[in-house]
Structure formats: structure tokens, C-alpha cells
Amino acid sequence: MRQAARGATSADPAGRISVRPSGVAVDLTVPAHRLDPVADRGRTTVGHQVIESIAARIVAEEPGVGGAARRVLGLAVTGEDAEQAPRVESTVAGETVSLRIRLSVTYPDPVHEVTDRVRRRLVERVGELTGKRVGMVDVIVAALHRPAGPRRVIR
């Protein structure tokens, strides 16, 4: 690799010197054929909390899906409604992820159609965003919630 020009003040991640007092940029990048293969330059680890966060956002984007109550000793301590985030747990084994999702479904949407759509979307998007293969997705429908809108009051 060539040395930085005298007076250079910083380099970008690719190794290019980007600022010189004279205002002239100097390109000192290493030619691609001289770099080590990507696999030999380190590894990337995606933590299970990141996978869970990504999965929760993906599920929340699906129409007809809402959150699930927080539970302590099996008892709901918050309400189960569309405004809450779905609950997600993940298990990572090498490059394979298993997901467990607790959610609510808007009534009268067909539960099996909503859960099938959620599974397909999770397998596709979690794989794209993390590089992991989603092996299994367990979906627990904890509640049905009403669609958003005005409520009818009977007197």
C-alpha cells in the first residue's frame, strides 16, 4: 500500500485519503485484486435481540396484526391490542433462526390466513435482513382485537 501524502489529515474506510490542507483529494485505495477474500476479513454476528427486534417490526407491519399482552406467571399484565408490539422470542443455532411470535389478530380476519402471511413474510424478510435462514416460526394468537374506528355504544 502506498503511503499517505504528507499533510493528509484523514482516511475513509476504503483507505482513500480524503482531506489535505491543500484541498486536493488523494486516492490511495488498495486494488480489489490485492484484498483478502471477504470471508477471511472477519465475521459478522447478529445477536438474538437484533433478530427479535427486526421480527417484531416485520410482524407489526402486517395488516390485521396487533400486539400481545405482557404476562407474568401466565397472567396478562397489559391489554392485548393493535397498538402494542407483538412479542418475539428467538433461538439462534449457527445460521438458522427459530422464532416464537405472540400476537393478536383483528376480528373478523381469518386467523389462519393472517398467521400464514406472517410466517411467509418473516421467513423472507428476516433472511434478507440478517443473512440467517429461518427454520421455524411458531405463532401464538393470544387474542382477537376489534378494528380501529368508532365504537358503537348500546344504551
Q: State residue 121's pLDDT score.
A: 97
Kindly state whether residues 36 and 85 are assigned to the same domain: no
Give domain status of residue 16, yes or no: yes
CA atoms within 13 A on the CB side of 14: 9
Kindly state whether residues 25 and 89 are assigned to the same domain: no
pLDDT tens for each residue of the chain, 155 residues long: 444 444 444 555 555 544 555 666 656 666 666 777 766 778 888 899 999 999 999 999 999 898 876 655 555 555 554 567 899 999 999 999 999 999 999 999 999 999 999 999 999 999 999 999 999 999 999 988 887 766 666 66
Cβ atoms of 41 and 115 closer than 8 Å: no
Cβ atoms of 143 and 104 closer than 8 Å: yes
Residue 77 CA to residue 20 CA, distance in Å, equals 60
Kindly state whether residues 30 and 102 are assigned to the same domain: no
Kindly state whether residues 24 and 81 are assigned to the same domain: no
Q: State residue 101's pLDDT score.
A: 96
State the cell numbers at 122: 418473516
Kindly state whether residues 58 and 114 are assigned to the same domain: yes
Which residue's entry shows cell 484484498?
Answer: 35
State the cell numbers at 104: 393478536
Domain membership of residue 26 as a residue range: 10-40
